[in-house]
Amino acid sequence: MVDTATFRKHKIELTEYDYTNDLQNRVKMSQFSIEDLDVLEEILYSSLRIPLSILEKNLEIPEKRLLSILEKLSDTGLFSIQSEHVIVDKEVRKYYEFQVLKFEDDFKAGMDYLQGLLRKVPIHVLPTWYSIPRSSNNIFESIVEKYLSTPQVFQRYLLELNLSDPAQKGIMNEVYQSPDFEVSAKDMMEKFSLSQDEFETHMIELEFRLVCCVKFVREKGKFKEVITPFHEWRDYLRHVRDAHPAPIYDEEAIERDKETDYAFVEELGALLHAAETGDASPQAVAAECSDFYEEDFDYLIEKVTALELAEGKGRKLSVTEAGKMWLALSPSDKAIYLYRHPQNSLKGENVPEHLCQERMIREAEKCLSSVINSGWVFLEDFLNGIFIPLSEEQLISLKRQGRTWKYVLPKYTESERNFFRALISDWLYEAGMTALGTKDDRICFRLTPFGKELFDYE
């Protein structure tokens, strides 16, 4: 388990590397036009000594215009003009070859970008910044393991970060609260009264803090600077957002299976009342519960005897002392009694037995926190948005896949999906925590007020 206290030691000191040069270059890049970038890229991907005539020919830009752009770009330190040639600085070219990727349409500011970013910092500084062992064989992988390895680890890290600068904290909140986890740099500078220099300084620090990063998108013939989380985290957040089941708004079109939230509890109570009168029959239960299905009678008998609320069979069923005490409880207390009784168990057709254990059930129930305020949702849509690991192999973790990284989500077998179906449609329904219905021949459910009370973990 990650020690969250170590997160508080995460301290970035920009003065420990040459950030002023990086800052100046970032400010310059924020002012690039599309034409500026075309010229810059041509220089980057040509030889170290380029005749101006060749540059003009390749770019198809008039000489006067080309010279004007070159003059603007000259303060990047990337090149100098000597004897009708552009002479490229090899070291500065490495810097811009990395940074210019931010302008590509398919650029993903992910782990590869972060790794390149960390290479700018002296290697002996990184263990101090990120509180990792200096003996680490791979500093980057150690940082990933400590801060980014799973969604829970990274979310915990963000909560522990406690940014002291109000602008940085504000930018972070804006990014993570935006619908698509992306905000305009211009909007942030205006909102927090930041100059371009101040903004880029904050962004350098936020990138090293793993919070968010900058990229450029083409918009109306210009480049727009935007801020997003690192690609893998943004991809995960968007996936979770998109997988969240949409609420069913026309609730009047839903046909409920049973009219009351405690229908199963009421049917058990009706059976026990009937047993007390010596008429433990399906008709007696139906007389008290209008939604009762007679084919469920044998199951009710099985349940009350398993819970030791009654003993015997059929019409000879008799209520135990525990059953009499149970009948005196409120509906919610009756439901809790069922939910917590050690002899009560989740069972379902084609449900793996090893999943029907209390530990697995409690873990699976956590998925319900996502629909606390959703009202009615379709069951299958809900199942498609579940990311609860049922085994070690299903733990969500950041993994390299070929040349990219990704938070790998669990994939469920049909029998595992049956487990979640039974959890909602049988186990929690019987305890009065879910209500069931159908709409357009599709099963739907909602958490009852009692269910909301139990599964609201915040």
- Does residue 458 surpass a pLDDT of 80? no
How far is Cα 291 from Cα 254, in angstroms, rounded to an integer? 16
Q: Decide if pLDDT at 9 tops 70.
A: no
**According to the model, what pLDDT value does residue 347 have?**
82
| pLDDT the model gives residue 10 | 60
pLDDT of residue 370: 87
Q: Average the pLDDT over 110-122 and give the result.
A: 93
Mean pLDDT within 44-48: 93
What does the angle CA 356 – CA 357 – CA 359 come to, to the nearest 5 degrees? 130
Number of other CB atoms surrounding residue 150 within 10 Å = 16
Kindly state the average pLDDT of the residues 358-384.
92
1 has pLDDT over 70: no
β-bridge partners, 364: none
Residue 457 has pLDDT above 70, yes or no: no
Q: Residue 2: what pLDDT?
A: 45
pTM of the shown model: 0.84
What is the average pLDDT across 284-312? 93
Alpha-carbon dihedral sign for residues 173, 109, 120, 100: negative
Q: Cβ of 403: how many Cβ atoms within 10 Å?
A: 6
Share of residues in the chain with pLDDT > 70 (%): 97
Residue 254: per-residue pLDDT: 96
- The pLDDT score that the predictor gives to residue 3 is 45
Per-residue pLDDT tens for 338-353?
999 999 988 877 888 8
Q: Could you tell me what percent of the chain has a pLDDT over 90?
A: 79
Radius of gyration for the chain, computed over Cα atoms and rounded to the nearest angstrom: 31
Structural domains in the chain, sorted by start: 18-120+163-240 (1.10.10.10), 259-340 (1.10.10.10), 353-455 (1.10.10.10)
Mention every residue, 6+ apart, whose C-beta is less than 8 A from residue 197. 23, 27
Q: What is the 3-state secondary structure (H, E, C) of the chain?
A: CCCHHHHHHCCCCHHHCCHHHHHHHHHHHCCCCHHHHHHHHHHHCCCCEEEHHHHHHHHCCCHHHHHHHHHHHHHHCCEEEECCEEEECHHHHHHHHHHHHHHCCCCCCCHHHHHHHHCCCCCCCHHHHHCCCCCCCCHHHHHHHHHHCCHHHHHHHHHHHCCCCHHHHHHHHHHHHCCCCCEEHHHHHHHCCCCHHHHHHHHHHHHHCCCCEEEEEEECCEEEEEEECCHHHHHHHHHHHHHCCCCCCCHHHCEECCCCCCHHHHHHHHHHHHHHCCCCCHHHHHHHCCCCCHHHHHHHHHHHHHCCCEECCHHHCEECHHHHHHHCCCHHHHHHHHHHCCCCCCCCCCCCHHHCCHHHHHHHHHHHHHHCCCCCEEHHHHHHCCCCCCCHHHCCEEEEECCEEEEECCCCCHHHHHHHHHHHHHHHHHCCCEEEEEECCEEEEEECHHHHHHHCCC
Query: Distances from the Cα of 8 to the Cαs of 4, 158, 197, 229, 233, in angstroms?
Result: 8, 10, 27, 20, 21
Please write the tens of the pLDDT for every residue from 126-174.
Answer: 999 999 888 888 999 999 999 999 999 999 999 999 898 999 999 999 9
Share the mean pLDDT of the chain. 92
Q: For position 4, what pLDDT does the model report?
A: 43
Interval 291-300 mean pLDDT: 92
Span 215-228, average pLDDT: 94
